[in-house]
């Protein structure tokens, strides 16, 4: 899939370039139809390169004076063009090609190296492939219901519904306002309380807003990473690179994977590297904070406990309630 992702990314970058050229051409036609002198200036400016080539070819080392003359005339024509645009209420750069990426001018490369915009597109398609096995489109904030959470208060504590209403509002706002500086989140709580539903809804909204959001269960993610580490993965695929480059990574059901040293070390490295890159992770788990510490060492637990926004899901298993009410 890595090669296919690259091809799709190159195709997307080329599409951006063609769109930029097409729009610039339309703007040029619009202006030239209104202001004939600009059409004449465009012709004169387009001839500059040919004039320089002829002078250099015919005069060689003695061409400096002629070159200076051509460049001075070119500069004069450019200034006249800007004045005409301004006098007719157009921005001075109205006829310039407005590339999506200024660095590479939508070529995908800068000085022979892949531009960051191309790398981002490759990551986008890698993430889409990774997510293809998950049901991101089936879970949204609109389909999350608070009716399955109790209104009953315990002493002075909030009811389950109040707590879950606050969590729901946080997740919805988090997704809507997501950016690359958004905090990491830990979703704690027993099974069937909505952690997976809300994390999928976040992924869906974040992707709709143009960011890359990689979603995976912990068992699937660690299995892929271990297979690739030992040379058993799909050729050309680098899951860790995709995980590190995605704008948002969501690891669902942490603790359901096999308990071994590889997974413990991998989780620490993943958390640490994304932390250093200032990129957020959302982790959902049925484990308690103490169980996280016991299973993944205090190094992992300390980072999660101190640097992540902790959401404690409460209530009764919603799936069991739906099954009892014949809603499944």
Check residue 155 and give its pLDDT: 59
Mean pLDDT across the stretch 71-77? 90
CATH topology assigned to domain 133-324: Rossmann fold (3.40.50)
**Could you tell me the pLDDT band of residue 234, with boundaries at 50, 70 and 90?**
low
> Which tens digits make up the pLDDT trace of 194-228?
999 999 999 999 999 989 899 999 999 999 889 88
**Spatial distance between the Cα atoms of 99 and 304, rounded to a whole number of angstroms:** 40
Sheet holding 308-312, edge to edge: 213-217, 248-254, 281-285, 184-188, 308-312
- Whole-angstrom Cα distance, residue 74 to residue 81? 11
pLDDT the model gives residue 197: 92
Task: Indicate if the pLDDT at residue 134 is higher than 80.
Answer: no
Model confidence at 2, pLDDT cuts 50, 70, 90, reads low
pTM confidence score: 0.74
DSSP characters for 189-245? --TTSSHHHHHHHHHHHHHHTT--EEEEEHHHHHHHHHHHHTT-S-TT--HHHHHHH
Residue (of 41, 35, 275, 29) closest to 283 by Cα position? 275
CA 89, CA 301: separation in Å to the nearest integer? Answer: 60
| 3 state SS of 320 | helix
pLDDT in tens, 263-288: 999 999 999 999 999 999 999 999 99
* Alpha helix stretches (DSSP H) within the chain: 2-34, 36-46, 48-59, 64-87, 116-131, 160-176, 195-208, 218-229, 239-245, 261-276, 289-307, 318-324
Inform me whether the pLDDT recorded for 169 exceeds 90: yes
pLDDT of residue 136 exceeding 80: no
Lowest mean pLDDT among 44-58, 70-84, 101-115, 147-161: 147-161
- With 0-12 / 13-18 / 19 or more C-beta atoms within 10 angstroms meaning exposed / middle / buried, residue 304 is buried
Between 305 and 236, the more confident residue is 305
The mean per-residue pLDDT over the stretch 307-327 comes to 84
Which residues in 95-125 are b (16+ Cβ under 10 Å) and which e? bebebebeebbbbbeeeeeebebbeebbbbb
Report the alpha-carbon distance of residue 70 to residue 299 in Å, rounded.
67
Average pLDDT over residues 117-127: 85
Tell me the pLDDT band of 60, cut-offs 50, 70 and 90. confident
> Rounded mean pLDDT of the chain?
88
Q: Is the pLDDT of residue 182 over 90?
A: yes
| Residue 235 confidence class, pLDDT cut points 50, 70, 90 | low
């Amino acid at each position: 899939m890595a090669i296919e992702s690259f091809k799709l990314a190159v195709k997307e970058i080329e599409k951006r370039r063609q769109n930029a050229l097409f729009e610039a051409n339309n703007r040029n036609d619009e202006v030239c139809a209104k202001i004939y002198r600009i059409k004449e200036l465009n012709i004169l400016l387009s001839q500059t390169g040919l004039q320089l080539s002829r002078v250099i070819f015919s005069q060689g080392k003695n061409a400096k004076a002629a070159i200076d003359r051509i460049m001075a005339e070119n500069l004069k024509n450019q200034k006249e063009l800007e004045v005409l645009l301004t006098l007719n209420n157009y921005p001075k750069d109205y006829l310039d090609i407005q590339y999506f990426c200024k660095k590479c001018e939508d070529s995908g490369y800068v000085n022979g190296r892949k531009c960051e915009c191309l790398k981002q597109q490759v990551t986008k398609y890698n993430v889409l492939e990774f997510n293809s096995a998950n049901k991101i489109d089936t879970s949204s904030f609109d389909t999350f219901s608070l009716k399955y959470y109790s209104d009953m208060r315990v002493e002075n504590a909030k009811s389950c519904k109040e707590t879950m209403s606050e969590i729901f509002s946080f997740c919805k706002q988090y997704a809507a306002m997501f950016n690359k500086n958004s905090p990491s989140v830990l979703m704690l709580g027993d099974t069937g309380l909505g952690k997976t539903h809300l994390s999928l809804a976040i992924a869906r909204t974040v992707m709709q807003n143009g960011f890359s959001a990689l979603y995976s269960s912990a068992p699937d993610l660690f299995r892929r990473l271990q297979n690739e580490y030992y040379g058993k993965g799909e050729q050309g695929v680098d899951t860790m690179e995709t995980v590190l480059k995605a704008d948002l990574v969501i690891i669902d059901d942490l603790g359901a994977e096999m308990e071994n040293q590889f997974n413990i070390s991998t989780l620490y490295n993943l958390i640490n590297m994304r932390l250093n890159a200032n990129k957020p992770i959302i982790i959902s788990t049925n484990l308690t904070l103490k169980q996280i510490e016991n299973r993944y060492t205090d190094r992992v637990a300390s980072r999660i406990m101190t640097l992540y926004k902790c959401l404690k899901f409460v209530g009764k298993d919603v799936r069991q309630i739906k099954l009892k009410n014949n809603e499944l």
